[in-house]
Structure 1
Amino acid sequence: MNRVLLSFLGCVVAFGFSQPPLQAAPLPWSALKGKPVLFVTGKTDPGEPNDDALVRQHLEQIGFKVTTADASVSPSAVSGMSLIVISSTADAHELQAKFAQTPVPVFTWNTFDYPNLGMTGPQLHRDFGVVDPIQHYAESFSILYGYGANTTSTISRAVGLRPQLFGTLYLEPGSIGWANPGPGATVIADFEGKPQRAAVFTYERKASLADGATAPARRVGFYLADGNFHLLTDVHGPAANDPQVRQWAIGLKLFDEAIRWAASPPQAVAPYDPAALDARIRGVAHGKKVLYVERVDAGEGREADEHTVAHLRSLGFEVTIADQTDPQTRANGEDLILISSSCSKYKLANKYVDTAVPLITLEGLYADALHLAGRDRYADYGEHGEEKESDDPPDNYLDIVGAWNPMAAGLPAGLVKFTEHPGVLKWARPTPDAIVIATLPNSPNERAIFGYPEHAVMADGFIAPARRALLPLDNPSFDDLTAQGHALFDAVVLWTVSGKRP
């Protein structure tokens, strides 16, 4: 392999790749050997950098069997391919949407092709953009620094990504692409700590794309430009013994792990089947203890609390009721905490924030205290339909954007009737470490159902001591849930009480 040796803090940083410990989800590297890849490239002006030959060489050294084509390639050329890789040198206007609905994974750093693929909206400088040293000289230095936005995804764990800065490229002003992807995306790394300036982002198969379509296969966007693949940071020799340098020089490692994830089989999704879901949750519920926190003297919502508890008990959970004013020690020995929306944030007084017990809150206004979201009400969290407290009308639909995850109960992407009648629905804006399942209709930034895996980085840098989830039920809404709404409730309970991995 050709390597460009890079001097970094007196250490040697070079183009190449180092394999991390194998993870359970992606294919082993050996399984990638011989897989066919369509590499879509273009030409650059004479004298302009073009690293497409190096990329092809690198892919072949991983073991892929690479076929190169230009933007005029027929969509039928993807037949039999395991992966499509699209370079920024390919003409996005000629590519148009020819690969948008292909059921073959796509890995791309062609920023102007993101809208064609549905990975971002269509507006330059708002939905996507390119930084280059000619037009943005000062900014072209800032893009040398990425930020670990997500630490719990398969790619993040394989890389060992942390919520801190890392080196994207070698120290010289360069060009990169950024994206503002849709709510169904996972932002792995970003620039300047802004998820709306994503450097590396993914869509799982069946996730909702930015244009409202459903991803037919895995999609990855990466920050490269025409001629800087050889500048991706990596570490070799004595430098590899320094853990700080290893965590800094991860550009090529990110590239490799994102490629491996894209080429690996997607997560299996069980179809919507309430009876099967009921059987699964009953199998898990037996012997599990649930602490149901409510306002014991509640007026509105009292009957719904009783019915929620009865439902959990009917599934096999052992449910204990605690008042909102009871001490946090009530959670000792429990397997799940469920906070009713009849509770008052004031009376809860920061309880259960740091307990290492999985937790679901139905009270969306407690999102800031639990570090599910930031502190700015109406910007970081809020509600639709609350009289005198919301400018938004009542609603009873949710927009499923994370159909790939079991919390979605097998429901397809798109609108689902959550309650029978319009009412109050809560929402919050979590960090990129959250798994977003549903948003409020026509409000993609207002996330109504989401979960944080254990050890995820939550708002304020708080590390999730166990799984955390938000369900948008208001005080009396449990009794108004549709069949699909009940399935979502049970699926979120099942995910939260089960396991430690996303």
Structure 2
Amino acid sequence: MKRPIRLSMAAGGFLFACALGLSTACAAMLPPSTLKGKTVLLVTGATPADEPNDDALVRQHLEALGFTVKTVDDATPESAAKGASLIVISSTANAHRLGDRYADVAIPLFTWNTFDYPNLGMTGQELHHDFGVIDPVQHYADSFMILYGYGANTTSDISKAVGLKPQLFGTLYLEPGNAGWGKPGPGGTVIADFDGRPDMAAVFTYERNASMLDRRTAPARRVGFFLANGNFHLLTAVHGPAASDPQLRSWAIGLKLFDAAVRWAASPPPPVAPYDPAALDARLGHAAHGKKLLFVERVNAGEGREADEHIVAHLHSLGFEVDIADQMDPQTRADGEDLVIISSTCSKYKLANKYVDVKVPVISLEGLYADAMHLAGRQRYVDYGEHGEEKESDDPPESYLDIVGASSPMAAGLPPGLVEFTQHPGVLKWARPTPDAIVIATLPNASAERAIFGYPKGSVMADGFVAPARRALLPLDNPSYDDLTVQGKALFDAVVLWSIGGGA
């Protein structure tokens, strides 16, 4: 007998509304006024008298935002963080002395101590590859590069708060100095980078339970920021008459980015509905009722035909009005539909760029259509590919996925880590999306090969294409729907639910 789930009407109603995207409070950042009185533990260290140190200015600024700031040195035990709403670690703290002291503390953490990134699990361990510090003594030419950041993500709460665009902006005023960068793990979100390289992130985040490095998951929100000891006062800002110039307003956002990232870290993460396939089916049925869905397939296909029939039957059972289109039919078949799903039985050579620009959500089950759909770049087996395809893949068949974005409703409430997606090893597709994508799962031991991800409406996809509606990838091969595990079917349903707006 199944044990009944007991939720109060308030809690249950809130989770249900969040799952359906009906509550605007589900994942909202705290307004600035609510920061007042929240305690920040500011962890600092000593610097020589002749070296710049902006820790006092940072403290004053955090207090001006409303925080109550408690300053401790880098030898203080982590128990000092008890009761704090946020831990802030300065680059003046000695990373060797800090070690992994704050790595497992379930309190949000904001840091610009680049050398501490590996200790926290926020990056790998290798200097110059996984993280690095640029300074004008050793890297004079590169030290000018850090004055210019590039908006890598435009759809996160932080990005929206500062109006971040996929273009250059000014990080610091024109004075070459030190700055740090990191290469986050598979569950990280790159907000801004240097040189247009997401592997050289200037600002990056982890949601609670997101996969970091070395099989760690974030115990609470984590933020890495590009500052160094003495350049907080150089963060760009715009005041006076210049503030009326929209170009300058979108350029001088260094301080706004700092404030938004701090506020995001201190905000509660969105609630996550627990893994419950039956409840997920009920939510999807509620959201799907009366909606029109176009299922694009290779009519009369050989391999995968029966699986396509079963997908359509499942979608019908949920309440969708399903129309079937052949891959050769014109794109106008999508007119009046609420969702388009492209079967893996389709050939991109027959699809011929169809459904790329339709103004309704699209889910592609055909990973090899990722380049045409702007889900990823254009190089096969570099930007997209597959595991297990005989004579076409260097990688063996696979049946597992690695959940790296457990906080998203697309993860179906599954915990971080490996999950059996299909009952038997077979062909699984992957692609490498832009930083605007919400990444849910990768292939095992291949963190750059993203198997499930979604682009929100308005996000910047590959080739600078702006998503006219939600876009998602599921890694199914032709017959593999019929081989999905219970968890695999839950992930399928969760992606469909998110795509039609039934998830955050």
Establish whether residue 447 from structure 1 lines up as the match of residue 447 from structure 2: no
The separation in 1 between residues aligned to 2:79 and 2:378, in whole angstroms, is 50
Establish whether residue 95 from structure 1 lines up as the match of residue 123 from structure 2: no
1:211 deviation in Å?
2.2
The separation in 2 between residues aligned to 1:351 and 1:101, in whole angstroms, is 47
| 40, 46, 49: which one aligns with 1:46 | 49
The separation in 2 between residues aligned to 1:215 and 1:386, in whole angstroms, is 34
1:24 deviation in Å?
7.0
Partner of 1:152: 155
The separation in 2 between residues aligned to 1:57 and 1:34, in whole angstroms, is 14
1:460 deviation in Å?
0.3
Partner of 1:272: 275
Name the % identity. Answer: 76
Q: What letter is aligned with 1:122?
A: Q
Contact 1:23–1:154 (CA under 8 A) maintained in structure 2: no
Establish whether residue 308 from structure 1 lines up as the match of residue 307 from structure 2: no
Contact 1:179–1:199 (CA under 8 A) maintained in structure 2: yes
Partner of 1:335: 338
The separation in 2 between residues aligned to 1:42 and 1:222, in whole angstroms, is 17
Partner of 2:240: 237
1:448 deviation in Å?
0.1
| 59, 66, 69: which one aligns with 1:63 | 66
SS at match of 1:257: helix
Q: What letter is aligned with 1:254?
A: L
Partner of 1:17: none
The separation in 2 between residues aligned to 1:486 and 1:257, in whole angstroms, is 37
1:180 deviation in Å?
0.5
1:275 deviation in Å?
1.2
What do the CA deviations read for 1:427-482 (whole angstroms, capped 9, x no partner)? Answer: 00000000000000000000000000000000000000000000000000000000
1:276 deviation in Å?
1.0
The separation in 1 between residues aligned to 2:117 and 2:379, in whole angstroms, is 31
Contact 2:27–2:269 (CA under 8 A) maintained in structure 1: no
Establish whether residue 482 from structure 1 lines up as the match of residue 490 from structure 2: no
* Uncovered stretches (5+) of structure 1, i.e. residues with no partner: 1-21
* Uncovered stretches (5+) of structure 2, i.e. residues with no partner: 1-24
The separation in 2 between residues aligned to 1:409 and 1:303, in whole angstroms, is 25
Q: What letter is aligned with 2:108?
A: P
Partner of 2:364: 361
Contact 1:397–1:415 (CA under 8 A) maintained in structure 2: yes
1:30 deviation in Å?
1.0
Number of residues paired by the alignment? 480
Establish whether residue 285 from structure 1 lines up as the match of residue 310 from structure 2: no
Q: Which deviates more from structure 2 when the two are superposed, residues 70-79 or residues 484-493?
A: 70-79
SS at match of 1:238: helix
What do the CA deviations read for 1:326-359 (whole angstroms, capped 9, x no partner)? Answer: 0000000101000000000000000000011100
Establish whether residue 30 from structure 1 lines up as the match of residue 33 from structure 2: yes
Establish whether residue 413 from structure 1 lines up as the match of residue 420 from structure 2: no
The separation in 2 between residues aligned to 1:446 and 1:199, in whole angstroms, is 22
Contact 1:150–1:432 (CA under 8 A) maintained in structure 2: yes
The separation in 1 between residues aligned to 2:462 and 2:213, in whole angstroms, is 24
The separation in 2 between residues aligned to 1:215 and 1:181, in whole angstroms, is 12
| 379, 384, 398: which one aligns with 1:381 | 384
1:75 deviation in Å?
1.3
- Please list, as runs of the form range in 1=range in 2, the aligned pairs for 1:87-486 lying within 5 A after superposition: 87-486=90-489
SS at match of 1:457: coil
Question: Residues 23 and 292 from structure 1, CA distance in 2 versus in 1: closer, same or farther, beyond 3 angstroms?
Answer: closer
What do the CA deviations read for 1:381-425 (whole angstroms, capped 9, x no partner)? Answer: 000000111000000000000000000000000000000000000
The separation in 2 between residues aligned to 1:116 and 1:442, in whole angstroms, is 21
Partner of 1:14: none
Question: Residues 76 and 178 from structure 1, CA distance in 2 versus in 1: closer, same or farther, beyond 3 angstroms?
Answer: same
The separation in 2 between residues aligned to 1:454 and 1:339, in whole angstroms, is 18
Q: What letter is aligned with 1:306?
A: E
Contact 2:27–2:270 (CA under 8 A) maintained in structure 1: no
SS at match of 2:281: helix
The separation in 2 between residues aligned to 1:235 and 1:119, in whole angstroms, is 31
The separation in 2 between residues aligned to 1:76 and 1:168, in whole angstroms, is 34
SS at match of 1:213: coil
The separation in 1 between residues aligned to 2:240 and 2:132, in whole angstroms, is 36
Aligned Cα RMSD in Å?
Answer: 1.1
The separation in 1 between residues aligned to 2:130 and 2:173, in whole angstroms, is 26
TM-score of the aligned structures, taking structure 1 as reference length: 0.95
The separation in 2 between residues aligned to 1:368 and 1:256, in whole angstroms, is 36
The separation in 1 between residues aligned to 2:46 and 2:246, in whole angstroms, is 39
The separation in 2 between residues aligned to 1:60 and 1:209, in whole angstroms, is 30
Moved beyond 6 Å, runs of 4+: none
